[in-house]
């Protein structure tokens, strides 16, 4: 059995830096692998995707991710698991999109309390029977943390089932159904995938997403593979199942570089979707005199000049005492070189349609918010704060909730007063308590969260 795996795809166009990625080059790599494997083994490989495709991207501002239906279908995806960003435009929208795709979508451990069904209409399990008699069982699992990131769903409307418990149940069901091999498609962070591998011996392979860096680990004889992001990487997992039941595995990593030719069919799709948009996006909206750092591993673990730039603009527009935004706001995962700054750069950095709001916080709430922001370091979580008007240091080795080094915490150059009220500019997403910022969800809102300016618009106007 051969499996082709990828995850977390946002931009369908390629970037400048190698590996350039892009759906067109990725498609030819995929098609060549499908062709070669089918020729060699007499059976088509299984194509699986581990979530996040409908948003955020430059194009999805216009299409709400609908363009990915055609893209994933062209890539012949068989089975997929929901990513958190599938729900950025609402549960119903996600359900409609995946219904229109030819692939089977899994999500087995989050129940929509209103319908008592799996969120977004995901399947709990799926069995594929191969021509050679092999039965492959698949299940889809996610972590609890990402429920806090869902912008359009109330946490209270969801019932989360622990992925280990649920994984154990469903894997056992799949075995009872005769599965020779059990594969979990997951959309969660590394430590959770490792926990799943340790605790559920019935799962043979975990094909994961959510983390954007390529990685392979073997934990207690369970293989975990994450295949990068953004059509830049593809994994081919070749399994040789011996008569004694033992499995030999060969993993091949493919990077989508300029060497990989573009698939003409996919290229047409990409060009069709981007041509209209591109004309407006090429417009230069300013000049930057230094390169701006938006790399995930930087912006999600420390202060960066891109984070400061955007937070400072928010401060000047709102005149708030402090600005705090979650670094998940910054989507470009790259360094933007100095020179002309085009609308395209802005839309790559800030593709999520979210409003700027001003709220009133006490010093105590501000401290709580910052503690939440640094609570998951060293995981590259989107909740990590980028700020303006406030300075602080933190100790990542201290227990979550007491990591901020108190005497370093200054607001406008003065020590934080826990009882004082401060005005804080943030995004509606954070003010709603998302990304774990629940301490802010009850704060008084000074501006209308539904009609406030879009963050990207605020930056563009600046």
Supply the minimum distance, in Å, between the C-beta of residue 122 and Zn ion.
15
Site for Zn ion in 230-269 (CB under 5 A): none
Q: Which residue of 210, 331, 403, 427 would you call a contact of Zn ion, by CB under 5 A?
A: 210
Q: Per-residue x/- marks for Zn ion, 311-350, CB under 5 A?
A: ----------------------------------------
Cβ proximity to Zn ion: between 52 and 112 the closer is 52
Backbone φ and ψ for 75, nearest 5 degrees, come out as -80, 0
Site for Zn ion in 83-142 (CB under 5 A): 83-84
In angstroms, the CA 99 to CA 93 distance is 10
Supply the minimum distance, in Å, between the C-beta of residue 425 and Zn ion.
26
Supply the minimum distance, in Å, between the C-beta of residue 306 and Zn ion.
20
Q: Does residue 322 contact residue 389 with C-beta atoms inside 8 Å? A: yes
Supply the minimum distance, in Å, between the C-beta of residue 187 and Zn ion.
6
Q: Apex CA 254: angle with CA 251 and CA 259, to 5°?
A: 155
In angstroms, the CA 265 to CA 316 distance is 47
Tokens of 404: 């901020």
Cβ proximity to Zn ion: between 142 and 197 the closer is 142
Cβ proximity to Zn ion: between 83 and 108 the closer is 83
Helical (H) or strand (E) element with 364: helix 363-374
Tokens of 375: 């609570």
Supply the minimum distance, in Å, between the C-beta of residue 127 and Zn ion.
26
Supply the minimum distance, in Å, between the C-beta of residue 409 and Zn ion.
31
Q: Which residue of 13, 33, 47, 52 would you call a contact of Zn ion, by CB under 5 A?
A: 52
Q: Does 427 bind Zn ion (CB under 5 A)?
A: no
Supply the minimum distance, in Å, between the C-beta of residue 453 and Zn ion.
26
Supply the minimum distance, in Å, between the C-beta of residue 73 and Zn ion.
21
> Is the CA virtual torsion 117, 430, 311, 279 positive or negative?
positive
Question: Which range, of 44-52, 98-106, 175-183, 359-367, touches Zn ion by CB under 5 A?
Answer: 44-52
Supply the minimum distance, in Å, between the C-beta of residue 379 and Zn ion.
12
Cβ neighbors of 84 (< 8 A, separation 6 or more) are 51, 52, 142, 146, 149, 150, 187, 210
> How many residues sit in the footprint of Zn ion (CB under 5 A)?
4
Q: In which order are the strands placed within the sheet that holds 215-219?
A: 125-129, 135-142, 181-187, 205-208, 222-226, 215-219
Of the candidates 43, 28, 110, 54, the one whose C-alpha atom is nearest the C-alpha of residue 78 is: 43
Q: Does 381 bind Zn ion (CB under 5 A)?
A: no
DSSP string, 286-353: EEESS-EE--HHHHTTS--HHHHHHHHHHHHHH--SEEEEEGGG----SEE-SEEEEHHHHHHH--S-
Supply the minimum distance, in Å, between the C-beta of residue 22 and Zn ion.
20
Cβ proximity to Zn ion: between 207 and 439 the closer is 207
What is the CA 26 to chain-centroid distance, rounded? 19
Tokens of 446: 């000074």
Cβ proximity to Zn ion: between 84 and 235 the closer is 84
Look at residue 357 and give its three-state secondary structure: strand
In angstroms, the CA 57 to CA 23 distance is 13
Question: Which range, of 166-174, 192-200, 203-211, 350-358, touches Zn ion by CB under 5 A?
Answer: 203-211
Closest residue to Zn ion in the complex (CB): 210
Cβ proximity to Zn ion: between 348 and 388 the closer is 348
Q: Which residues pair with 181 in a beta bridge?
A: 136
Question: Which range, of 38-46, 208-216, 296-304, 342-350, touches Zn ion by CB under 5 A?
Answer: 208-216
Cβ proximity to Zn ion: between 54 and 71 the closer is 54
Question: Which range, of 48-56, 310-318, 416-424, 435-443, touches Zn ion by CB under 5 A?
Answer: 48-56
Q: How far is CA 40 from CA 34, 45, 48, 118, 371, in A?
A: 10, 11, 20, 38, 54
Query: Contact positions toward Zn ion, by CB under 5 A?
Result: 52, 83-84, 210
């Amino acid at each position: 059995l051969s499996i082709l795996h990828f995850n977390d795809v946002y931009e369908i166009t390629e970037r400048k830096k190698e590996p350039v990625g892009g759906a067109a080059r990725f498609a030819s790599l995929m098609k060549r692998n499908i062709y070669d494997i089918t020729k060699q083994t007499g059976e088509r490989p299984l194509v699986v995707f581990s979530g996040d495709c409908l948003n955020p991207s430059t194009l999805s501002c216009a299409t709400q991710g609908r363009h990915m239906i055609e893209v994933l279908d062209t890539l012949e995806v068989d089975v997929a698991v929901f990513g958190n960003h599938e729900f950025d435009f609402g549960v119903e929208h996600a359900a409609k999109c995946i219904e229109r795709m030819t692939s089977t979508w899994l999500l087995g451990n989050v129940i929509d309390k209103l319908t008592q069904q799996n969120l977004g209409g995901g399947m709990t399990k799926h069995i594929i029977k191969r021509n050679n008699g092999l039965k492959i069982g698949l299940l889809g699992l996610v972590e609890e943390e990402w429920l806090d990131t869902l912008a359009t769903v109330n946490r209270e409307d969801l019932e989360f089932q622990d992925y280990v418990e649920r994984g154990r149940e469903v894997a056992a069901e799949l075995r009872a159904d005769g599965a020779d091999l059990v594969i979990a498609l997951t959309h969660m962070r590394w430590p959770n995938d490792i926990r799943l591998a340790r605790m559920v011996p019935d799962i043979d392979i975990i094909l994961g997403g959510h983390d954007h860096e390529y990685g392979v680990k073997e934990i207690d004889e369970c293989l975990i593979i994450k295949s990068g992001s953004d059509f830049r990487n593809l994994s081919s997992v070749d399994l040789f199942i011996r008569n004694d039941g033992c499995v030999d595995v060969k993993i091949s990593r493919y990077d989508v570089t300029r060497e990989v030719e573009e698939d003409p069919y996919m290229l047409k799709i990409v060009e069709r979707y981007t041509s209209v948009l591109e004309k407006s996006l090429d417009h230069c909206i300013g000049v930057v005199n230094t390169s701006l750092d938006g790399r995930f591993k930087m912006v999600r673990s420390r202060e960066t000049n891109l984070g400061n730039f955007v937070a400072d603009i928010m401060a000047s527009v709102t005149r708030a005492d402090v600005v705090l935004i979650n670094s998940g706001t910054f989507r470009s995962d790259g360094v933007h070189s100095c020179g002309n700054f085009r609308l395209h750069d802005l839309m790559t950095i800030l593709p999520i349609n979210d409003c700027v709001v001003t709220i009133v916080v006490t010093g105590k709430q501000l401290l709580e918010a910052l503690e939440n922001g640094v609570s998951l370091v060293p995981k590259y979580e989107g909740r990590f704060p980028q700020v303006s008007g406030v300075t602080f240091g933190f100790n990542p080795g201290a227990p979550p909730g007491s990591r901020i080094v108190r005497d370093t915490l200054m607001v406008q150059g003065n020590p934080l007063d826990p009882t004082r009220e401060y005005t804080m500019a943030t995004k509606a997403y954070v003010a709603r308590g998302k990304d774990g910022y629940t301490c802010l969800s009850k704060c008084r809102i000074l501006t209308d969260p539904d009609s406030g300016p879009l963050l990207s618009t605020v930056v563009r106007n600046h």
